[in-house]
Amino acid sequence: MEKYQTLILIGETGCGKSTQVPQESSTRTSRTQLNYEDVVWIPCSVNPLCHPTVKSLMVDHVNHYIYGPLCSLLDIGLGISERILFITPNMISIFHVFIACVGAKLLTCQSLVARRIAVVLFQMRMFLDDLDGHVARERKHIKGERSEVGTLGYWVDGLCDLLGVVAMMLGILIYLKNNPPRRGYKGTPVSTLPYHQLKEINSNEDIEKENVEIGISYKTKVTFQRIAQVIGLFSGQMLLSSLAWNRYIDLYQDILENSTEYDVLRRESTFRSGIFFSATSLWRIVNPHSYLHLLSLSVFCDKTWPFLRTVHYAGYGCLVITVAISEYLVQNIRTSVITGNDV
């Protein structure tokens, strides 16, 4: 009998592997499929790609690919999970609130160096926020990123995150109040400017004479009411983003990881689908951690007000689009898992 080979390609979308398993149909030879852990050169104790979960696909890139492995290395080096048992995840969460308070104080300083140190402290806070979850999962022997919705640690971590973000926004608000940005009026006649803005043009640094034909550029300070409005709108974005992000993590976990009554092959097929990977990729961009990283970068580059002014309205549009797409896909994914139809 003539022998021939068929080639079966087994692949994963997003994170995972592709392996080729040769099979001879005449001899019915079966071979064991290699696991990702068997062929990867980075140990799975550090490698963020070893244990893909719903949450790991929705976490921002900085936390997933940088802070996550660093937390693993720190835990391996110090043995926090196994030996230093008196340090609990909740203690780590509370500790990073104190770091946020120190960072908020430095954010109010006029010195750019001090504000950059504050950014470093807030990045340390976010690193510790990742560490408390890592320690909690290691002590419970949970592999991969996962949200344990409803547990005490879940609420303590959420409350401490909220306090840390509030501290950061208050620090920025106080800094902008004490050092208000300026708004320009180029080529505008003095007679057309509002009276309260004319009163602010009282020094040489407030007036720039560029060209007689062009006119005069008047720079006036942005009012505190406007500053508070912009910061309030941006803070609202982060709050809504956090609520929606946690909601969809909970929904996707419930459908694809927790619902054992659904067929495991259907859940696995949906998890590996390109549609699901695209849906989770959107949340990597608009989740609250991404907002904080971008805000920290703007503070470090001394572009805080331009950044806030740019995104305080536009960010809501991106968030609404992401929520609408996610809501549509949740229904399709649930139907796919239950009935077996394609997403």
21: pLDDT strictly greater than 90: no
Count how many residues are written for the chain. Answer: 343
Note the pLDDT tens digit of each residue in 289-305.
999 999 999 999 999 99
pLDDT at site 33: 63
pTM metric for this prediction: 0.78
pLDDT at site 237: 94
Q: Which of 57-71, 84-98, 283-297, 321-335 has the lowest mean pLDDT?
A: 321-335
Whether 303 and 116 have beta carbons less than 8 Å apart is answered as no
319: pLDDT strictly greater than 90: yes
pLDDT at site 258: 84
pLDDT at site 222: 87
pLDDT at site 243: 94
pLDDT at site 332: 84
28: pLDDT strictly greater than 70: no
166: pLDDT strictly greater than 90: yes
Strands (E), 150-291: 182-186, 207-211, 215-221
Note the pLDDT tens digit of each residue in 169-219.
999 999 999 998 876 544 445 455 454 444 444 444 444 444 434 444 446
- Comparing 202 with 277, the larger pLDDT belongs to 277
Strand partners, 10: 19
150: pLDDT strictly greater than 50: yes
- How does residue 226 score in pLDDT terms, banded at 50, 70 and 90? very high
- Comparing 15 with 277, the larger pLDDT belongs to 277
- How does residue 265 score in pLDDT terms, banded at 50, 70 and 90? confident
Query: Torsion-angle region of residue 292: left (phi > 0), alpha (psi -120 to 50) or beta?
Result: alpha
What single-letter amino acid sits at 320? V
The C-alpha atoms of residue 23 and residue 325 are separated, in whole angstroms, by 41
Residue whose entry in the numeric block shows the structure tokens 């110090």:
78
Nearest to 53 by CA among 135, 146, 139, 140: 146
pLDDT at site 342: 63
42: pLDDT strictly greater than 90: no
Please report, to the nearest 10 degrees, the dihedral formed by the alpha carbons of residues 195, 196, 199, 201 taken in order. Answer: -100
Q: Which of 112-121, 205-214, 280-289, 305-314 has the lowest mean pLDDT?
A: 205-214
pLDDT at site 173: 96
Give residue limits of the domains in the chain.
Answer: 41-182+220-339
88: pLDDT strictly greater than 50: yes
The C-alpha atoms of residue 63 and residue 261 are separated, in whole angstroms, by 32
Q: What percent of the chain has pLDDT over 70?
A: 78
Whether 27 and 1 have beta carbons less than 8 Å apart is answered as no
Per-residue pLDDT, averaged over 123-135, amounts to 95
pLDDT at site 242: 94
Span 41-182+220-339 CATH architecture: Up-down Bundle (1.20)
- How does residue 22 score in pLDDT terms, banded at 50, 70 and 90? very low
State CA 81 to chain mean position distance.
25
Which of 11-25, 29-43, 180-194 reaches the highest mean pLDDT? 29-43
- How does residue 32 score in pLDDT terms, banded at 50, 70 and 90? low
3-state SS class at 184: strand
